[in-house]
Amino acid sequence: MFRLLFWIAVIFVAIWLWRRFKTPSTPRPKPQKQDETVPMVRCAQCGVHVPRSNALSQDNRWYCSRAHLEQDQSPGER
């Protein structure tokens, strides 16, 4: 029984070494992490938070869409 376990271990080590030295030694590219945080603003009409780059602003108020910007400007709606 010991001989069988010994030979299985030898085969696994041989396969591991063969795979390790067969592959090129260049390092794998690391996946890019999104460390940059995007500032979020709240829509003055509906309250949804959207990235500042996607939001529309007028008079220090932010809106998530053109429709909400126009709704907030129309008189008597509120």
Query: What is the distance between the terminal CA atoms of the chain, rounded to a whole angstrom?
Result: 85
- Tell me, yes or no, whether 18 lies in a domain: no
Give the structural domain span for 48. 40-73
Residue 61 lies in a domain: yes
Report residue 76 as tokens. Answer: 């008597």
The average confidence (pLDDT) of the chain is: 84
Residue 7 lies in a domain: no
Question: How far apart are alpha carbons 14 and 7 in whole angstroms?
Answer: 10
With vertex at residue 65, the alpha carbon angle to CA 59 and CA 66, rounded to the nearest 5 degrees, is 70
6 within some domain? no
* AA letter at 25: S
> Does residue 78 register a pLDDT over 50?
no
Could you read off the pLDDT of 41-61 as tens digits, one per residue? 999 989 999 999 999 988 889
| Number of domains present in the structure of the chain | 1
Q: pTM of this prediction?
A: 0.49
